[in-house]
Amino acid sequence: MEKYYNTLEKNILSYAPFDIKKLRKAYFYAKNYHQNQKRASGEDYIIHPLNVALILSEMHADIDTICGGMLHDVVEDTESTLDDVEQKFNKTVRNLVEGVTKMTKLDFDNKNELSASNLRKIIVSLAKDPRIIIIKLVDRLHNMRTLEYKSLEKQQEKALETLEIYVPLAYYIGASKIKDELENIAFRYLKPSLYGDINKQREELKKETKPLLEDTKEKVANLLRKNGIKANLEIRYKDNYSIYKKLLTKVKFEMIHDMLSIKVLVKTTKDCYLALMLIHENFTPINNHFKDYIARPKTNMYKSLHTTVFGKDNHLIQFQIRTYEMERVAIFGLTSYWFKYKNNAKTLMQKDLENNFQFFKSIKELDSTILDNIEFVSSIKKELFSSNIYVYTTSGEVIELPNGATVIDFAYKIHTDIGNSMVAAIVNDEAVALDYVLENQDRVRIITDSKAYIPKEEWLDKVITTTAKTKIMEFIKEKEN
C-alpha cells in the first residue's frame, strides 16, 4: 500500500505545490481507523480510499478534495466522527466527508415521508459543492472496478444502482470519462452474454476497418496541415454500452452512423469550423447527422462539432471536431477547472454549476415548486434519473424495459406464452391491474393459466413495446382465423 501512497504524492506534486503534510496526516488517519477492516478481495480496506485519492489526483484535484476522498468512509464505517475530522483537518474536509456519507443513502424507492424528506435535503445539497458528487462518483468507480469480488446478487444490485443514479450524475456534470466506464462495467455485469456478443462484433469491426480509418485520418491530417491548421487526430470506436443502446432502437449494428469516428483537436473555435468546411469539401456529408454543439452546447456544457460522412466503400465515419479546451471539458466536465485554475477552481465550478448546468437548475426549480417531499423525490426520479427502467423477476433476473412499460409488456418480454396466458400480476407483493405501469426496481410476478389464452384487443392500448403489440395482434389474428 505504500507504493500507492508514494504514487499519490508524486502525482500531486507534479501539478501543484500542495501541503503534503496534510495529505500524509489524512493517509495515516484513514489507515489507523480502517486498520482492522478488509475488502471483499481480502485486501486491507485502506487500499480503497487510497485508490479514490489516486483517481482524484489524476484529475488534478485540490488537496482538500483529495483528503476528503481519503477520508470518505471513516465516519460511516469506523468510530471516527465528523467533529474529529474537522478538528484534525478543517471545515471544508468535514463538509466533503459529510456530503459523501449522506450521498450513500440515496434511495429513490423509499416511499416513507421521513426518508423522502432526508433524500430531498441530500439532493438539494448536491448543488452546494460539486466536489461532493465528484468524490462519490470516484468512490463508485473504484468499487465498480473491483466488483468481481462481490456475490452475483450484489454485482447485479450495484450495477443496476450505478446505471440508475451514478451514470446520470456523471453525465449531468459532464464527466464523460467516468460515465462511460461506469456504464460499460455495469452493462458487463447486468448482461454478460450480450456484452460479450457486442464486444466480439466490435473487435471484429475494429480489425476490419483499421486500415480504412488510418488512411482517412492521414488524408484529413494532410488536408488540415496544407491549410495551416495544426491538429491532432484520434481514431475512436463506439463503446459497448452505447452500441447496446442504439441496438435497442432497432438500428442494425452495421448502420450505426457513429460506430467509426475520428476526433479532431484544434487550437481555436475558428479552426473547428474551418476544419469542418475542409472535411465537407472532400467527403460527402449526411445532412441529418450534423450537430453543432459549439453554437448550442449540451445541457452538461459539452461542446463539439459532429458530422458523419461517407468514407471509402461507403463506410460511415463520424468526425468530432473541437478545441483542446472543449476536449478537456468533454472528458472531465466540471472537474476540468482543476486543470486550468488552481486556487479558485471550486468557486468557478460552483458558479458554472448554478448558471449553466440544466440538471441543477431543474433541482432548484422542482425544489421551489413542489412542497410535498414524496412528490419531490418522485419528480426528481422521473424527470432526471429515468429513461429505461430495470425490474426484477421473482428469481432476481434483471429485465430492461422502456419507461412507461406495463406488466403486460413485462410478461411478453419474458416469453410469448407467458403474455398470452397471463391472468394476473403481483408487483412488490401486491396485486395490480394488468395495465399497471412499472417502475424501477419493481419485483414482478406474473400469474398464468395455461387454459386461459386471453389477450384482448384493448391490451394494445396498454402496452408500449413493439414485441408485446406484435404478439397480441398475432394472437388476435390467429384466433379470428
163-176 tens-digit pLDDT: 888 888 888 888 89
pLDDT the model gives residue 481: 62
**Pick from 430, 416, 367: nearest CA to 128:** 367
8 A C-beta contact, residue 392 and residue 445: no
**Residues with catalytic function:** 76-77
Query: What are the C-alpha distances in Å from 416 to residues 250, 402, 467?
Result: 19, 18, 9
**Pick from 370, 392, 476: nearest CA to 117:** 370
pLDDT the model gives residue 109: 67
**Pick from 87, 15, 80: nearest CA to 339:** 15
User: The C-alpha cell of 186 is what?
Assistant: 455495469
In the chain the domains, ranked by start, together with CATH numbers, are 2-190 (1.10.3210.10), 192-335 (3.30.460.10), 388-480 (3.10.20.30)
- Nearby residues of 405 by Cβ (< 8 Å), 6 or more positions away: 389, 437, 438, 463, 464, 465
User: Which of residues 392 and 60 earns the better pLDDT score?
Assistant: 60
pLDDT the model gives residue 148: 94
What mean pLDDT is predicted for residues 13-35?
Answer: 90
What mean pLDDT is predicted for residues 260-264?
Answer: 96
- Which region among 27-36, 197-206, 227-236, 287-296 has the lowest average model confidence (pLDDT)? 287-296
What mean pLDDT is predicted for residues 98-116?
Answer: 76
The pLDDT of residue 323 is above 90 = yes
pLDDT the model gives residue 386: 62
- Which region among 103-117, 404-418, 433-447 has the lowest average model confidence (pLDDT)? 103-117
pLDDT the model gives residue 300: 77
pLDDT the model gives residue 357: 72
8 A C-beta contact, residue 99 and residue 85: no
The pLDDT of residue 197 is above 80 = yes
Query: What are the C-alpha distances in Å from 362 to residues 144, 176, 474?
Result: 28, 20, 43
The pLDDT of residue 353 is above 80 = no
The pLDDT of residue 383 is above 70 = no
| Mean pLDDT, all residues of the chain | 87
Q: How far apart are CA 124 and CA 380, in angstroms?
A: 11
Cβ-based neighbour number of residue 296 at 10 Å: 8
Question: Which own/partner contact pairs does 439-442 have at CB distance under 8 Å and 24+ positions apart?
Answer: 439/109, 439/389, 439/391, 440/108, 440/109, 440/164, 440/381, 440/386, 440/389, 440/390, 440/391, 441/109, 441/160, 441/164, 441/390, 441/391, 441/392, 442/391, 442/392
The pLDDT of residue 105 is above 80 = no
The pLDDT of residue 110 is above 70 = no
The pLDDT of residue 296 is above 90 = no
% of the chain with per-residue pLDDT over 90: 47
Q: How many CA atoms lie within 13 A of 267 on its CB side?
A: 4
Identify the band that residue 377 occupies on the pLDDT scale cut at 50, 70 and 90. Answer: confident
The pLDDT of residue 328 is above 70 = yes
Of the spans 247-251, 264-268, 471-475, which averages the highest pLDDT? Answer: 264-268
What mean pLDDT is predicted for residues 308-331?
Answer: 91
For the chain, state the CA radius of gyration: 25
**456-472 residue pLDDT tens:** 788 888 988 767 887 88
pLDDT the model gives residue 394: 82
- Nearby residues of 194 by Cβ (< 8 Å), 6 or more positions away: 244
**363-375 residue pLDDT tens:** 776 777 777 888 7
Identify the band that residue 206 occupies on the pLDDT scale cut at 50, 70 and 90. Answer: very high
Identify the band that residue 88 occupies on the pLDDT scale cut at 50, 70 and 90. Answer: very high
The pLDDT of residue 195 is above 90 = yes
The pLDDT of residue 214 is above 90 = yes
* Cα 454 from chain centre: 41
**123-154 residue pLDDT tens:** 777 767 888 889 999 999 999 999 999 999 99
The pLDDT of residue 355 is above 80 = no
User: Which of residues 250 and 275 earns the better pLDDT score?
Assistant: 275
pLDDT the model gives residue 339: 75
Q: How far apart are CA 391 and CA 334, in angstroms?
A: 32
8 A C-beta contact, residue 465 and residue 413: yes
**Pick from 430, 350, 445: nearest CA to 394:** 445
Q: How far apart are CA 156 and CA 177, in angstroms?
A: 22
- Helix (H) or strand (E) holding 147, with range, is none
pLDDT the model gives residue 319: 97
Query: What are the C-alpha distances in Å from 263 to residues 188, 308, 310?
Result: 26, 12, 16
